[in-house]
Structure 1
Amino acid sequence: CAFLSDRMRFHVIAAALLWAAFVESRKIRGISSSYKRFYRERKSFLCIDGSKMIPFEQVNDDYCDCADGSDEPGTSACPRGRFYCTNLGFRPHYIPSSRVNDGICFASVMLVLFVPSLAFCSRNLGQKERAYVEGQMKTLDEGLRLKQQLIEEGVLLWREKQAQLRELQRAAEDLQIKLEEHRRRKHEADRLKEQTLKALKAGDKGKSPSIFRTHSETFARFPELFRTRVLCASLSQSLKISAYIYKYIYIYGGALFGNTQCAESQQLRIVNLSDLLFCLAAEWEATDLKKVEEAYETVNMEISDLQRKLGIDYGTDWEYLFLNGQCYKLKVYEYMYTLCPFNMVSQKSSAGVEVSLGKWGMWAGPPKNHYSQMVYENGEPCWQGGSRTTTVTLTCGTETALRLVKEPSKCQYTMDFETPVACQPVLKQRGVHSEL
């Protein structure tokens, strides 16, 4: 009875397999779901390239009718044909149709052979697939852990940058007030110079002292200038002037600013009053005013640079912010490639010639994974026209590094850039199937 039972079981299994083969034969093998619309059963079949119309029953009849091989996706009849492995539970992908039913089980490829070979493929590839998926999951878990750290650091860094911007803006406001005050004082010194020159030209000796007395506060702002630089004849060519002018500047100036500390010989030669006032205005412009202007310009440049950096899209959680200000290098043959995220890409030859391969442009990933690709554009001009551009694909990894550089077409470069922040939790949905 046991023997009969085994025989009956064998016939049941055989019948089931034959039925499955029959059902499968009614389907078009070797096509992906996106191509099913081309293979809806009807009286005729149009080759996908549009070159020929054939009866539908000639699809997968092991004879190649279409030049593009689209009528034989499930056989090896067409040299240009492709077979789509659904690879249920594994990774689906295409293989050349010539490898269908050739008796060889390809790595990570199943359902290529008929049923008797399937069990052998399943055992071998199941072990390999399990090891592969487990390795990928381990990398993903570690990458996600590191990504979370970088997100937390990114949030803190973002707040620091915002605080730095506010501090710079306050400094710019203070410098602007100081700048306006210094410009007012310079204007006052220039006006004083013009008044004095007019008085001297008119020969009004009585008016000159009144100018000094009226603007004694203005002169009092520059005691060091009067005491050592001008009266000691170190800024301008010394000229003999009238005893009246000399006596007034030296004595009255000394009363305002204290002793001039000039040597006896220097006291006999002193700059004339117009030179004195000219040097006063020039010295003021060249020192304090210039310093304030430079400081104000520097702070505003820092504000603009920081605002530009903060205006970049660094991801939903600012996870890519840490990349700004960093550069990553990879040597490929005689060239050194440099990627500075959110800034630029360059290529440097062993001879030291550096070429721009593009400046930061935009994120260019698909809608479901927007932050998976960067585009750097407007690099140095290409000899055949246009400019060099670089597309950077970001991949999940436990390190942040530039892994691969290619030039698939002239002046069009591609890079693979590995970083933990490219790891996506959605990848974990695949999992490792228990039947492996």
Structure 2
Amino acid sequence: MRFQVLVAAVFWSGFVDSRKVRGISSSYKRFYKERKSFLCIDGSKIIPFEQVNDDYCDCEDGSDEPGTSACPRGRFYCTNLGFRPHYIPSSRVNDGICDCCDASDEYNSPAHCQNTCWNLGQKERAYVEGQMRTLDEGLRLKQQLIEEGVLLWREKQAQLRELQQVAEDLQIKLEEHRRRKHEAERLKEQTLKALEAGDSGLRHQNRTVTSIFQLLDSDKDGSITVDEVKAKVVLVHDEERLLSEDEALGLLGGGHQIDLTKFRRTLWDVLTRGDSVKIKDTPGSDDPHLEAADKAAEWEATNLKKVEEAYETVNMEISDLRKKLAIDYGTDWEFLFLNSQCYKLQVYEYIYTLCPFNQVTQKNTAGTEVSLGTWGMWAGTPKNQYSQMVYENGEPCWQGGSRTTTVTLTCGTETALRSVKEPSKCQYIMDFQTPVACQPVLKQRGVHSEL
């Protein structure tokens, strides 16, 4: 008899202990120590300790029934040793469905649950380890991209300085060519006035000698050769006949080429007399002086246009480079490598293209391209503002407003556009994976320390 009483006492003691501890996390066990009374955790009521887990709800917060489904606001704690612990609503306790992987929520039901915590924990540990490997590799690649970004930033700064120097040099040339063009046009006007006044141009020989020299100097090397004389000078009484080598040499004073100074003393004197040779006539001009002045003015206008075009091109390059350098590429310029790059992804019949810091587009099978937004701003969280991009002011949507795209950057070992969704009309969401989105962490959350 005494043995039976002892067994019953041990059994009852174990029943009371399991009944009172079940459904409680280790941090709350101090509230459920064996004593005469129990204080509801919210402090609303004191009840006899025997009423804890008696399948009747006495406390408003449900704290007296952690292991039963009696309280509508109650919570049951799944210990889930080997996996992640968590709470479930107490209404799910003993409902025939296993909610805890350790099957602790179905301690008094006909359900036959297996403990799957260890297998689930293994899978999660493998997943976390894979994520950590990806993070480590991503951070390594990110460091490389940071180093490349710093070098690229310095190169672009140096390129900007070089372009600015070129622009300054072109500005000086531009002013000089404008002056020379103005002088050539003034000389042309003076020559024309002299001709209109019946002047043969000899009174202005000091003003026109340079123009005639430039007319004969076809290759603009600062000298007149025998070939250039034969090409431009003809006999007054026989314009059809080409000058011979000896005749051309004679006009040049016996030399094969002459500069402007020697030209004044030789060929220029012969041309101004006008009785033996003259400059070959060109359509619309009967006077060599006017022709030379016209050619000089045309030459200076052409040169000026070339310098103006070069100056405009350089200034456009400077403006474009300044715009690029004004963009926020991250604290270490780690996102700079994305500039001038584009990434594509096909989703059903559409091809989406993301060009970071530029635009987002959508193209259908017919080849029609639609703008989904142009670069707007970084829009991440205060802790990581570089986790999200916004592209705004795309093409108008049929119901009003313009298309916009939000790009979320995620950590990965390669840079690629991973997914595109349209959760609401004309509002697009993209997942963009890149190593520069990887952030150092102390520990990856997931598997509980009890493991």
Could you say whether these structures have the same fold, taking a TM-score greater than 0.5 normalized by the shorter chain as the test? Answer: yes
**Partner amino acid for 1:213?**
N
Alpha-carbon offset, residue 274 of structure 1: 3.8
Given that residues 358 and 389 in structure 1 are in contact (C-alpha distance below 8 angstroms), is that contact kept between their aligned partners in structure 2? yes
Alpha-carbon offset, residue 277 of structure 1: 2.4
Q: 1:18 to 1:165 in 2, by over 3 A?
A: same
Counterparts of 1:402 and 1:352, CA distance in 2? 20
Q: CA RMSD in A?
A: 4.7
**Partner amino acid for 1:385?**
G
Given that residues 96 and 106 in structure 2 are in contact (C-alpha distance below 8 angstroms), is that contact kept between their aligned partners in structure 1? no
Counterparts of 1:84 and 1:282, CA distance in 2? 94
Match of 2:151? 156
Equivalent in 206, 224, 228 of residue 213 of structure 1: 206
Task: Determine which structure has the larger helix proportion and give its number.
Answer: 1
Given that residues 134 and 432 in structure 1 are in contact (C-alpha distance below 8 angstroms), is that contact kept between their aligned partners in structure 2? no
Equivalent in 371, 377, 381 of residue 392 of structure 2: 377
Match of 1:415? 430
Alpha-carbon offset, residue 201 of structure 1: 2.3
Equivalent in 258, 271, 280 of residue 267 of structure 1: 280
Counterparts of 1:388 and 1:84, CA distance in 2? 47
**Partner amino acid for 2:348?**
Y
Q: 1:370 to 1:22 in 2, by over 3 A?
A: closer
- Using the aligned pairs only, state the percent identity: 64
Q: Which consecutive residues of structure 1, in runs of 5 or more, have no partner in the other structure? A: 28-39, 44-55, 62-70, 76-82, 234-249
Q: 1:267 to 1:152 in 2, by over 3 A?
A: closer
Counterparts of 2:408 and 2:265, CA distance in 1? 71
**Partner amino acid for 1:114?**
D
The aligned length equals 368
Alpha-carbon offset, residue 398 of structure 1: 0.8
Return the index of the structure with the highest Cα Rg: 2
Alpha-carbon offset, residue 220 of structure 1: 5.1
Alpha-carbon offset, residue 352 of structure 1: 0.7
**Which structure 2 residues correspond to residues 23-422 of structure 1 after superposition, within 5 A?**
104=97, 114=105, 116=107, 120-205=115-200, 208-214=201-207, 216-217=209-210, 223-224=217-218, 232=232, 255=263, 267=280, 271=285, 272=287, 273-286=289-302, 288-422=303-437
Alpha-carbon offset, residue 203 of structure 1: 2.7
**Partner amino acid for 2:202?**
P
Match of 1:242? none
| Matched residue SS, 2:376 | strand
Alpha-carbon offset, residue 138 of structure 1: 1.2
| Matched residue SS, 1:367 | coil
**Partner amino acid for 1:155?**
V
Given that residues 103 and 114 in structure 2 are in contact (C-alpha distance below 8 angstroms), is that contact kept between their aligned partners in structure 1? no
Counterparts of 1:119 and 1:315, CA distance in 2? 50
Given that residues 83 and 118 in structure 2 are in contact (C-alpha distance below 8 angstroms), is that contact kept between their aligned partners in structure 1? no
Normalised TM-score (structure 2): 0.67
Given that residues 23 and 77 in structure 2 are in contact (C-alpha distance below 8 angstroms), is that contact kept between their aligned partners in structure 1? no
Match of 1:66? none
Given that residues 101 and 112 in structure 1 are in contact (C-alpha distance below 8 angstroms), is that contact kept between their aligned partners in structure 2? no
Alpha-carbon offset, residue 88 of structure 1: 11
Counterparts of 2:11 and 2:440, CA distance in 1? 45
Given that residues 151 and 318 in structure 1 are in contact (C-alpha distance below 8 angstroms), is that contact kept between their aligned partners in structure 2? yes
Match of 2:37? none
Q: Which consecutive residues of structure 2, in runs of 5 or more, have no partner in the other structure? A: 30-41, 46-57, 64-70, 234-250, 253-259, 269-276
Given that residues 412 and 438 in structure 2 are in contact (C-alpha distance below 8 angstroms), is that contact kept between their aligned partners in structure 1? yes
Given that residues 82 and 118 in structure 2 are in contact (C-alpha distance below 8 angstroms), is that contact kept between their aligned partners in structure 1? no
Match of 1:67? none
| Matched residue SS, 1:359 | strand
Name whichever of 411-420 and 162-171 sits farther off: 162-171
Counterparts of 1:335 and 1:217, CA distance in 2? 67
Q: Deviations over 1:57-82 (max 9, x none)?
A: 77779xxxxxxxxx96768xxxxxxx
Q: 1:266 to 1:201 in 2, by over 3 A?
A: closer
Counterparts of 1:342 and 1:84, CA distance in 2? 49
Match of 1:15? 17
Alpha-carbon offset, residue 123 of structure 1: 2.3
**Partner amino acid for 1:284?**
E
**Partner amino acid for 1:182?**
H
Q: Deviations over 1:118-156 (max 9, x none)?
A: 992532322222111111111111111111111111111
Q: 1:319 to 1:159 in 2, by over 3 A?
A: same
Q: 1:313 to 1:99 in 2, by over 3 A?
A: farther
Counterparts of 2:336 and 2:447, CA distance in 1? 33
| Matched residue SS, 1:200 | helix
Match of 1:31? none
Counterparts of 1:346 and 1:84, CA distance in 2? 49
